[in-house]
Amino acid sequence: MHPERRFDLLAVSLMAIPAVAALLVWDSLPAEMAIHWNASGNPDNAAAKPLATFGLPAFGVATVAFVRLVPDSATSTPGGETASILFLGGVFAWVETLVLVWNLSYRFNIALATLPVVVLAAGLVWYALRRSAGGQQWASFGSNGGVS
């Protein structure tokens, strides 16, 4: 297996965990599930149970495929494709989990629950900046005979 495909498989597997969990608690989930919350933390949009539980993972898998298959010139993947795919897998899995847990009647502060996404995004930006700075350093190292 190509090394990058292992990361794709990891991202897709992360997204599959909440979907499998939804199957296990299917009868406990409401027919209409909250999928979006307003700034006050109140649900303001709902979807049918099948769409709410399997639509987001399907969209996540499609996003992973899009990032891998579309030419680099058509996308902007901070930190590179693999880092972006791992970020997507983590974020989709987290959001799927939040939707599932909320709809199982466990209430929590939605704004606080989004904090891990912000932390992951900051980490991806940090990694991308560090990676691009390192790449520029190596490019300048090679361009003038080993002296930077």
Sequence spans of domains, the chain: 3-143
Mutual angle of helices 3-24 and 81-103, in 10-degree steps: 0
Please, are residues 52 and 86 in contact by the beta-carbon 8 Å criterion? no
The predicted pLDDT at position 70 comes to: 79
The predicted-structure confidence for 9-23, as pLDDT tens digits, reads as follows: 999 999 999 999 999
Looking at residue 127, what is its pLDDT? 85
Write down the pTM of the prediction: 0.80
DSSP codes, 25-84: TGGGS-SEEEEEE-TTS-EEEEEEHHHHHHHHHHHHHHHHHHHHHS-GGG---TT-HHHH
> What are the tens digits of pLDDT across the range 71-124?
666 666 655 788 888 889 999 999 999 999 999 999 999 889 989 999 999 988
Nearest of 131, 142, 122, 120 to residue 11 by alpha carbon? 120
What is the rounded average pLDDT for all residues in the chain? 84
Evaluate if residue 25 carries a pLDDT over 70: yes
